[in-house]
Amino acid sequence: MQVNLRERWWIREVEIPTRLVLAPMAGVSVQAFRRQGRRYGAGLVCSEMVSCAGLEHRNDRTLGYLRVAADEHPLAIQVFGSEPAVMAEAARMVAAAGADLVDVNFGCPVRKVTKTGAGATLLDDPDRACRIVEAMAEAVAVPVTVKMRRGLEDGSRTALVVGPRLVEAGAASLTLHPRSAKQMYTGEADHALTAELVELVDVPVVASGDITSRARAQAVLATTGAAAVMVGRGAQGNPWALREIVDGNGAEPSREEVAAELILFIRETVREVGEQRAAGFLKKFYGWYLGRGRFPRPFKQELVQLRTTDEVVTRLFAAAPGAAEIVEQLEAELPDPENEILLDQMPISIYGGG
């Protein structure tokens, strides 16, 4: 059965133009990553998870996650925490920042998150999880959505019990990654569980996990009845994977195209977070972009050793001179930065100033 991944769908009043969602990924889903994902066919993009405690304390770096660009919409900003009142306030801040959806993380398996009672841990405390969703849904007009795992232990079916309760509490959509928290990213995602969840709830369900190709995306959509699929690790340094899934265009990018996308990504990340943070943050992306046989391994290692992003860009232009014209075209298509929602343009109440 062929499924049209260009078909639009809705989470309440929010229209999503394709059935492909770009996953929220810690240390990856910066604004430049999200904007690139939209260009390559993602109908919905998500921020990396944002600490509600960081928002509560008005931490400058955490507040930086609330920048929203004109070409990101529809956009979900994901938050995590364990206290309903604090999460409700975080939801208000996210909505004030201009996000189309507020997503709640009930799936992160990483110890530093779960030990605080947040992330996947909340699947074992469904009463608290429901109070969090209810408080958030009452706090904002935009839809509140939830991303979760199947449960904490291998073989768990907790998601099938908690999911319907979260919908009753106000969740407008559920994303299920049908691995356990214990599995992390090992083994296979059990999308038979996703199909069961679809049958239990009357809101859109997004299928996450092992969506690595157009054929796989169509098979999961056809067999589960999910509204959309979510792609995460497969898109790291590889936006062309999104294009292949949505449109079936599996053509390998040229070296010039790869270099151009990486250069734009570097420049946009520096604009977003500053040179000092960007220089270290970007190093992992060099291998992601330039791997898959696109550039020799020594070249990737050379870039990692360079001190500044300007040096990296200069070296990329030297390695792929034809990238200059592509970069110029890509930058010309970017929206006017004056249309970006900046922190000093947001309602002062989110800073606690009244």
Active site residues: 108
Q: What are the tokens at 143? A: 């839809």
Torsion sign over Cα 138, 144, 147, 151: positive
| Cα distance between residue 286 and residue 309, in whole Å | 11
Burial of 306 (0-12, 13-18, 19+ CB in 10 A): middle
| Cα distance between residue 295 and residue 288, in whole Å | 11
Rg (CA), the chain: 20
| Cα distance between residue 319 and residue 145, in whole Å | 44
Q: In this structure, which amino acid lies at residue 49?
A: M
DSSP state of 43: S
Residue pair 47/34 in contact (Cβ under 8 Å)? The answer is: yes
Residues 6+ apart with CB under 8 A from 11: 101, 143, 145, 172, 173, 203, 204
Question: 103 has which bridge partners?
Answer: 78, 145
- Tell me the backbone φ, ψ of residue 231, rounded to 5 degrees: -115, 135
Residues 6+ apart with CB under 8 A from 134: 84, 169, 170
